[in-house]
Amino acid sequence: MYRTGWKVWVSVMEQAVKEYRRITTTEEFREIERLRSRARHNEASAVRHAKEEEREKWQGVVAEKEAIIANKDAALAEQSALIAKLLSQLGEDK
């Protein structure tokens, strides 16, 4: 019984392989596969483009924040210099 079951299984697999080869050689199947491949490529391209746009957007935000920080640092340096000058003048007036 075991050998008979194995032979049946092999026969079924051979038929399945033969049918697969017959189907995959048809023009319709090749066209469907071409369209499926193109759709996957288009989807991947769209995702990559969206990620690039998002990255550019956030790079702009970061650049704006860095400019704001640089301006505040400059203002703080000016105030620190002014405080130092005033403290110096107070020391001389005593």
Could you tell me the residue range of the domain that residue 77 belongs to? Answer: 2-93
The Cα 37–Cα 43 span in angstroms is 10
Domains of the chain: total: 1
Higher-confidence residue of 81 and 5: namely 81
> At 94, is the pLDDT very low, low, confident or very high (cuts 50, 70, 90)?
low
Q: How far is CA 93 from CA 13, 20, 80, 84, in A?
A: 104, 100, 20, 14
Give Dmax over CA atoms of the chain in angstroms.
Answer: 115
Put simply, whether the predicted model's pTM sits higher than 0.85 gets the answer: no
Close Cβ partners of 29 (under 8 Å, ≥ 6 residues apart): 23
Q: Which residue has the tokens 């110096």?
A: 88
Model confidence over 13-35: pLDDT tens digits?
999 999 988 888 889 989 999 99
